[in-house]
Homo-oligomer: A and B are copies of this chain.
Amino acid sequence: MKAAIVAVGSELLGPERLDTNSLRLTTLLDRHGVELRRKAVVGDSIEELAGELRAQVARVELILVTGGLGPTADDVTREAVAEALGRELVFHPDIVEGIERRFAAYGRRMPEVNRRQAFLVAGAEPIENSRGTAPGQILTEGSCTLFLFPGVPTELEGMILSHLEPWLAARSGGEGRETVVLKIASLPESEVEERIRPAYDEFGREAITILAKPGEIRLLATAQGAEAPRRDRLRAMRARLAALAGDAVFAQSEEETLDGVVGALLKAAGKTLTAAESCTGGLLSERITAIAGSSDYFLGGAVTYSNELKTQLVGVPEALLATHGAVSEPVARAMAEGVRSALGSDYGIGITGVAGPGGGSEEKPVGTVHIALAGPGSRPVEHRKVRFPGDRERVRWQSAQLALELLRRRLIGEGGA
């Protein structure tokens, strides 16, 4: 099956906004093995939209239109579809009644303009909108089915779940395409590729994609075909990739984040964390506390931007700062151990570095970062010196990422893995 998506709205042709609804729709089309041929964005123009629909209706079997179903004069999707297909618009009193009830529930009267939303293209079935006033529409023209959806993402989502997904599932007969993801932090892309190479031979190079961003790599494995063999193949690929990548894999779903995984490990172990941050300036603490419930395991920390605060808040000896400089292994170690003991947590992280763009030297160029992790028991403080590429934001992000990854590895190690 081939499909086309059309987003309607003049605001989507300006410099402020993009059509993002299509990302949600393409995920779904992908899963059901539908080939998307094109996406178009047109303004609030009957002529433009009708032209696009006329061109596509003979070429694809599915057209998804989003937007232009509102009550005002610039909402032209209804008129444009009718025009493109040479059909009438038919007024449906029962739809008006539904919209009136919706307004009444909020103690308001329906404005007269909303009557426009009760017109369906002749032959179309309405799609109930449980989250707004504009009903969607579904209609067929020859071998092509058209869905008309509102542009508001929550309203669209409701109709996707109630109508589009079941429709696609019924037609694909279980045929489709699915992807699983494995996430890896703080390993270079080349090393990940090296590790998983055997899976290329086994499953085919095109089935596996490596997507890298600073400090994080996503391994995507895709399978298509009928449901049972597809699921088997996905399971096999996931298991093989996980075995090859080893404990570098921190998550096996899009939803899991490194912050969240580390938090869950701390919580499960009943351990607490504090952090002393210099070059990351609070980023690590911010990421950890972005997770709801983080107060169970994160006590707090110190942003020790100045040398004085490194001494005052986490007890880094002045002599150490004087001898080695703030960006050094001994200072990172002292920050981790100091924040841990001063604030009384099980684990302590220290980060100090040159985030740039200024402040670099020949000996300590921009991107140089020292990260240390102090923990309970007799294990010595761990330390990593790295030089991260990229600008200030990337250096800071990768620093926090590596600190979290060090802690994650320590926690799964001590958990007995």
Chain B CB count within 10 A is highest, among A30, A282, A392, for A282
Cα(A30)–Cα(B300), bound, Å: 48
Which of A13, A30, A303, A359 has the most B CB atoms < 10 Å from its CB? A303
The residue among A22, A285, A290, A342 with the most chain B CB atoms within 10 A of its own CB is A285
When the two chains form their complex, are residues B292 and A282 in contact, meaning their CB atoms are under 8 A apart?
Answer: no
A289 with B281, Cβ < 8 A, contacts A30-B14, A343-B309, A344-B308 known: yes
Interface locus among A31-39, A124-132, A228-236: A31-39
Please tell me which one of the listed residues B26, B43, B293, B301 contacts residue A37 in the complex, with CB atoms under 8 A apart.
B43
- The minimal Cβ–Cβ distance linking A210 to chain B, given in whole angstroms, is 12
Interface assignment of A27: CB less than 8 Å from any CB of chain B:
yes
Residue of B nearest to A211 (CB): B16
Q: How large is the interface on A (under 10, 10 to 19, 20 to 34, 35 or more residues)?
A: 35 or more
Give chain A interface residues in 281-326, CB to chain B under 8 Å.
Answer: 281-286, 288-290, 292-295, 298-306, 308-309, 312-313
Inter-chain contact A13/B40, CB cutoff 8 Å: no
A154 at the interface (CB under 8 A from B): no
Interface string of A1-35 (1 = CB under 8 A from B): 00000000000111110111011101100100000
Kindly state whether residue A174 has any CB partner on chain B within 8 Å: no
Minimum Cβ distance to chain B for residue A19 (Å)? 8
Is A26 a contact partner of B39 (Cβ separation < 8 A)?
no
A207 to chain B, nearest CB (A): 15
